[in-house]
Amino acid sequence: MVDFWRLGAFLLGAGLLALWLAHREVRELSAPPAGQGVKGRFAEIRWQAPYLLLQFFFGGIFSALFIFYFKSSGHIGTWLMAALLGVLLVGNEFAGKHLGRRFTLIWVLFALNAILLFNFALPHAIGSLDPRWFYVSTAAGVVLTHGQWRLAPGQPGRIFPVWGLAGVLLLAWSLDMIAPVPLVKQDLAVGHEFVQQGGRYVLQVEQAPSWQFWRDQASTVHLREGEKLYGVSAVFAPSGVTAALEHRWEVLEAGGWREVYRNRFQSTGGRARGFRGFSWVLNPQPGDWRLIVATQDGRTIGILSVRVKRGVPSPDGVRLREF
């Protein structure tokens, strides 16, 4: 909650500074001439201060949102959106005084910050990840920015790109490119001989070769005829947030990925290591498989791809993982 209040204060500060810069432009004030001595330097710093503060507020929000959305990203589309936030974070460092001369850019950056922050904060505050809250929070960010523009003296810049931005975000949402914040994948694995004892979830997984240091398990799973392939996931959600999740098992065939099984379940946030879910497919055919953890409205949280082969794993190549 401290983070939400801090980021909200940054957004409020950015809005007030945008109004002040618009007021200064209406009064047709110009930068002081370069002067010598302490007085001249002080006048220059005072002129630059609103630009630097606006840059600081946008940068503070972008840095937090980049972390939030990157941690919630689970596939290439959401990683691209997180990378875009990273680009904006770096670009903001070079914006500086140019923000004051490009009010359209100010409104677009303000709207983007407001929309993405509301996308995160509203589900958290309400305790629900119903997809309609994405539309409500997006509309709230646009309306807030439009209201800022209407209040700004002289209404500098153009506001229509803000509505275009909202359209782009809605399109990205429909293409599953918006990370399902505030959900974060904590763990995801497939393997053999799953055991649930009380509050313990234990799965036997095959270890990756030592040179594949970036993998938590081997890319190939060996199964005997008639054996089950288990999948276990742990998804973090803030305390009080309820999410409808699902496991989808898909196999690669000549026509592409085909869904074999779907298991739906409800999660309630608050557990530090994530809310756990498990599923299995019986006697999966050899080939390429993937387990997708997603919300029931279609937003992907994580994907794990494996190759299934007939056989018995080496006793030295397996280990137990607890979730």
pLDDT of residue 301: 92
Question: According to CATH, where is 2.60.40.1930 located in the chain?
Answer: 184-322
Rounded CA-CA distance 173/80 in Å is: 13
The HSE-up count of residue 1 (CA atoms within 13 Å, CB side) is 3
pLDDT of residue 42: 66
227-232 average pLDDT score: 96
pLDDT of residue 38: 67
Q: At 283, is the pLDDT very low, low, confident or very high (cuts 50, 70, 90)? A: very high
What is the tens place of the pLDDT at every residue in 148-177?
999 999 898 899 999 999 999 999 999 999
Q: Directed axis angle between helix 103-126 and helix 37-72, to 10°? A: 40
Q: Directed axis angle between helix 37-72 and helix 76-93, to 10°? A: 180
CATH class of 184-322: mainly beta
97 pLDDT more than 70: no
Percentage of the chain with pLDDT > 70? 92
pLDDT of residue 12: 96
118-145 average pLDDT score: 90
Instruction: Name residue 94's amino acid.
Output: F
Q: At 85, is the pLDDT very low, low, confident or very high (cuts 50, 70, 90)? A: confident
